[in-house]
Structure 1
Amino acid sequence: MVRKDDHNSRGSIQCGALCWRENGPDLEILLVTSRDTGRWVIPKGWPMPGKTFAEAAEQEAWEEAGVKGVIHPVPVGSYHYSKPELAMELEVVVFALKSTKAAAKFPECKQRRRTWLSLEKAAGLVAEPDLAALIANFA
């Protein structure tokens, strides 16, 4: 389990939420656009003081996508990506969040787009190969 004291607040690790919901017999994954490049990503961000990684991922899901739900405390995996403006490679520890509500208004609703997609389509839209594999194999 990843604990809040396993990191510093601006290290090379972020926490992300793989938000999912059932649509009939199928699972759907939520993707949001990044603010800087507009590419499709999952909600993610820096660890937060006083919160576990899972709790921080849950907070990011709300702020970036307007999604509330049940977060699983054990990571489903991780992936890496480059953040050129910080000149660093980051690891994102990913937690599954079963969506119970998607609000129309949320903190970053004017800065991002969001979409629910099948596992296959979501995996095809993200740029990071490890994230694509994590999404494709989520079930």
Structure 2
Amino acid sequence: MKRSFDDDLGYGFMHENRMDRGGPPPIGDMMDMMGNYPNPSSQTRLQIVASPGLSNAYLARLANLVPGLEYCDLNEQTGMAYVRYTSPQCAAYARDKLDGFEYPIGSRLMVRYPEEGTEARGYGSKRYVCLQVEW
């Protein structure tokens, strides 16, 4: 059997017929897993420092890989973004998985909890509301 990208996500091995394994786990199962993820903070918002010029649409797609994304607000000129997740556990998981990720290649994302009093509304040029789609 061949190893696939899915192995890193815990989905198993690649089969000749994807239907044999049912594809990725349902969003509900992922959200259940997120419910137990440790988070010392109760914040659901994250601040992301990305490469200037990165589009809000691309960053939103990347942030949406973690279940529970509610919105992504990026200032494309400065590369400063704010994202919000449905729960503190989803935010903590996103922070742990996206911090240091190179996107685009050669540009590391810096993901942290924002300072108190920092407001994201109207911060960036566009605002994307992300909805989870069940497979």
Q: TM-score normalized by structure 2?
A: 0.32
Bigger strand fraction:
1
**Over alpha carbons, which structure has the higher Rg?**
2
Q: TM-score normalized by structure 1?
A: 0.31
